[in-house]
Structure 1
Amino acid sequence: MQQMQSASLHNSTRRTTNTKFNPNQRPNQVNHLASQKKISRINSSLLLLLPVTLRHRNIYLKVYAFLDTGSTNSYISQPTAAYIQLEETNHQEQLLIGGFFNSQTIEAKTVDFTVQSFGKNTLAFELTNVLIKENFNLNAAEPEKLNDICSQYDHLKDICFPDFSNNDVALVIGTDNIDIISAKTIIKGNQNVPRAVLTALGWTIAGPNNDIGYFSSHQATATPIQISTDDTQILDVLASIWRMETYATSPEITMSSDEIHAMQTLRKTISLYDNRYQLGLLWKPNANLPNNYKAAIAQYNRMKIQLTKNSEKLALYQNTIEQDLSKHYIGKLEPDEIPSTGWMLPEHGVINPNKPGKLRRVSNAKSKFKGVCLNDMLFTGPDLLYNLLGVITRFRKGKHPITAGIEGRYMQVSVKPEERKFLRFLWGAVEPEFFEYTRFVFGAKCSPTCAIYALRTCADDNAESHPHIKKLVYENFYMDDIFEATDDIDTAVKIIEDLRHVLKQGSFNLTKWITTDHRILQTIPEEHRSITIDEIKDPKIFKRILGMEYDGE
């Protein structure tokens, strides 16, 4: 819910046309709203999103709907319309869509279908002339997070979001269906906190969410780019794109003063201890955190009440604690080891509907106390990722593709002992006990940069004996995955052997190996393979690589 509604959905003016739609006919000049990675920080708010059921004939689909009072029309995403087999009406629309920065003329087709409230005692509404849009850049939050928010406010305690595996927003209902999106009842709490809103499609929550921490930052903008039939303008746009694509391959990368400060911390604090790299957190100058123990106790009590209502989830949560203790990812503290200073990380358990019986414990480094959180005190650090286009291009150069991932990447890098007090949390099925992370945690702002820096340092330290592995680590890793391709089997086997050997010097374990040749796969221990020898015959074993479809043939 931290996404900002697309400006292109607002202020549209309909121009009804009775002529047959000609896809090749377009205005002489078209203004496009192009998304760019330009960060704009604003306060986080929960939008009016709620789960609904779409119905067409005998096909039902559960999706999230956005009730948008700022949109004059209703929209459905094209993939959703295709999935429930909606038939386009004869009604054709030519829309002049106006946003905050620009306007855009598009041809749009319309569909009719039924939307139902989610759960028992459903109410159904017919939606007509709903416009088909390619997709929405909007996602709802996980029900677990929404329910956790509701549990923290008395006026929201009766609101419960159902388990819902798909959090993509597929429907926008605008003011052309005002009776559906209008608030029938609003339950308010204090100022600047979420409120409960009852609509014709059921209850949801909306409003400021600045003190919870799940959505404490917001990144979304649209930047207008004009594309016309003027060849000069087109060439200018292409030149800017090419400059952007070659940025990560430039030998000289300009860093901000904050990134320089973070890089100095990385170089100063890294060390190899007991076959594992150790780093300090990337603190901002004059960083200071209050003691948030009282807030942590309150959050722990709420979480324990929730878990005791679900014995299966409680057992899974306790199991993650025991596993992390056995792997030395966390340590349990005795009362005499607990200093008066430090920071407590709120935690909660998340179950992926696609992985039943598996729970992931999540630390919330954005949770605020007295107006600050852990991430407020940390630098992100410099971007050490290699250019994505280069990684993909090199992966396509050979006949034998190879991929693998580092097991628990963040958990393989240690935090300096004197700084672990800022990564503490509470747990205990009966009474609260103190634990602290000994490794970098998922969610801490600096964890990605620290993990990449430790991995590269491992390659640097072994570069004299394995220079080719250093090159691979720098150029063929993206996040925690390696992507390589060779033209012959012997080279692939040698690369796998050397890569596993070098990274083992820093306790980085490569696992979930995939390749397309059984002779390569046989050299990898079975427990580290992602596929079997039989599955390797399937040319579609590489389904998606870095978000792209990959054809193994």
Structure 2
Amino acid sequence: MVVGSNILPKILVLSLKNDIGGSLIAQNTIFGWILSGPVAQPITSLSTQVIETMTDPLGDLLKKFWEQEEVSGAQTQTDEDTICEDLYRNTTYRRNDGRYVIKLPFKPESPNSMALGHSRLSAQQQYISIERNLEKKPDLQKIYAEVLEEYQTLEHIERTNAQEIIRDGKYFSFYLPHHAVIKPDSKTTKVRVVFNASKLFHSGLSLNDVLHTGPILQNDLMLVIIRWRLYKYVFNGDIEKMYRQIYVHKEDQDFQRILFRESPSGPVEDYKLKTVTFGVSCASYLAIRTLHQLPEDSKPKFPQVAKILVNETYVDDILSGGHDLNSTKTSVSQIIEVLKSAGYPLRKITANNRSLLNEIPETHLLDSEILQFHDTSTTKTLGIR
């Protein structure tokens, strides 16, 4: 035990013995006897350095451990969250084909004290610059054009006029710059077109500046995976183009305008994106909130689906299962049917038992030979191989 000299008098007891072992003195203390003095034979010594510190590193480490292990409580709803939820419930509806139509959650200050300015000219200059860069990469340019042409084929964009919408000196339209993001390891979408709603234009504000982001509804990834691993039989699937299966109210679509032309020699044309767009700050909230609304609308007929869509989904990935084959098969068929009713196709489906995949078209599977293991047979779910 190492003690400071300032507390030595406090631990001594009135008892002393001389000539211990021929040369040592023994002093009694409240902790027991201590020896001091010279020794005749050589001994191995231990050098100890004591440093006084004002911090409590052990306490800090314990505190961090407790905080890390703490089960998080329910999130407190903010005023912004309440506004977004009220707007969603009061304005969201389903079309005849079952797809949802939502409104963008504009802040109450918009457009009075937070007004957007003109954006088309700057967006056109940026588009032409990106187009020049794409010309140096013909393969990427071709894929990029095909992605935007797919938007037209699926009717996710609509051609509009080149005039920005102005009322009382305020702009009620906004042009989104866009660029390519390459995903070489993706089995399906190698190139994704990303729209930049955070771009500042003439007024010094972006579209994201005048929109509420919305509450965070995304599940904790670790909890989703842990729940998934508790099942004996598991399946996994990806909601294809999840954001783009949800439509935006017609009066809000002009805030999602883009510029595009199929050929550099043709005229630049104006379009408006008709669906929820990745890159708009509230897109994640709107997509997940709509996914949570679907089981509410389907609960009487499919009670099992609510648990899956609310608790066993991470953004557009479904990770669920069951403890016996029959209940798991029921979950697979019900989740596919409910998602399909809202225009959500479930694709890239995998499972750990072949019978769970028997009634699913091969084109909807991630890999038809996924359970025929080879040395190089791997797949990834949420980045985990």
Structure 2 length-normalised TM: 0.76
The aligned residue for residue 153 of structure 2 is: 326
Which has a greater percent of helix? 2
Distance in 2 between the 1:481 and 1:447 partners?
Answer: 16
Measured in 1, the distance between the counterparts of 2:50 and 2:85 equals 49
1:232-257 deviation line (CA, Å, top 9, x unaligned): x55543432343x333xx4xx31122
Query: What residue number does 1:291 align with?
Result: 118
Find the aligned partners of 2:316 and 2:103 in 1 and give their Cα distance.
Answer: 20
1:270 aligns with 2:92: yes
Please give the residue correspondences for 1:45-444 in structure 2 after superposition, counting only pairs within 5 Å: 227-228=57-58, 230=59, 235-243=62-70, 245-247=71-73, 250=74, 253-274=75-96, 275-287=98-110, 288-334=115-161, 339-340=165-166, 341-354=172-185, 358-370=190-202, 371-428=204-261, 429=263, 430-444=266-280
CA offsets per residue over residues 489-515 of structure 1, 9 Å max, x none? Answer: 222211110011111221111111111
> Contact 1:459–1:503 at 8 Å: present in 2 too?
no
- Contact 2:178-2:195 at 8 Å conserved across structures: yes
Q: What are the ranges of 5 or more consecutive residues in structure 1 without an aligned counterpart?
A: 1-26, 32-224
Answer yes or no: is the 8 Å Cα contact 1:503–1:509 preserved in 2: yes
* Contact kept in structure 2, 1:404 and 1:481, CA below 8 Å: yes
Which residue is equivalent to 2:24?
none
Compute the displacement of 1:338 (Å): 6.1
Q: Check whether the contact 2:221–2:314 (CA below 8 A) recurs between aligned residues.
A: yes
Alpha-carbon contact 2:213-2:281 (below 8 Å) kept: yes
Residue in structure 1 matched with residue 335 of structure 2 by the alignment: 499
Number of aligned residues: 320
Using CA pairs below 8 Å that are at least 6 residues apart, which structure has the higher relative contact order? Answer: 2
1:520 aligns with 2:336: no
Deviations along 1:320-363, whole A, 9 cap, x unmatched?
Answer: 1221111111112256x863440000112233344699432221
User: In the superposition, relative to structure 1, how do residues 240 and 266 fare at CA in structure 2: closer, same or farther (>3 Å)?
Assistant: same
Instruction: Call closer, same or farther: CA 1:316–1:236 in 2, change over 3 Å.
Output: closer
Tell me how far 1:445 sits from its aligned partner: 0.5
Distance 2:274 2:248 in 1: 6
Q: What SS does the corresponding residue of 2:349 show, helix, strand or coil?
A: strand
- Alpha-carbon deviations, 1:371-409, whole Å to 9, x = none? 211111111111112343432221011221211111011
State the distance in 2 between where 1:389 and 1:302 align: 41
CA offsets 1:67-100 (integer angstroms, 9 cap, x no match) = xxxxxxxxxxxxxxxxxxxxxxxxxxxxxxxxxx
**For residues 139 and 218 of structure 2, what CA distance do their matches in structure 1 show?**
39
Between the aligned partners of 1:358 and 1:477, the Cα distance in structure 2 is 23
Give the alignment's Cα RMSD to 1 decimal.
2.8
Q: What amino acid does structure 2 have at the position aligned with 1:505?
A: S
* Gap runs ≥5 in structure 2: 1-48, 167-171
What SS does the aligned partner of 2:223 have? Answer: helix
Distance in 1, matches of 2:219 and 2:176, equals 31
Residue type at the aligned position of 1:352: K
Q: Which residue of 1 aligns with 2:41?
A: none
Say which one has the larger Rg: 2
Q: What secondary structure does 1:537 align onto?
A: coil
How far residue 527 of structure 1 moved from its aligned partner, in angstroms, is 1.1
Matching of residue 477 in structure 1 with residue 322 in structure 2: no
* Contact kept? 2:321, 2:331, Cα under 8 Å: no
The alpha-carbon deviation at position 482 of structure 1 amounts to 1.0
Identity of aligned residues (%): 25
Alignment CA distance shift 1:378-1:541 (3 Å): farther
Partners in 2 of 1:374 and 1:462 — Cα distance?
Answer: 34
What SS does the corresponding residue of 1:484 show, helix, strand or coil? Answer: strand
d(CA) in 1 for partners of 2:348, 2:148:
24
Partner Cα distance (1:489, 1:365) in 2: 45
Superposed CA offset, 1:283-319 (max 9, x none): 1122221121111121122223233344333322221
Give the secondary-structure state (helix, strand or coil) at the position aligned to 1:314. helix
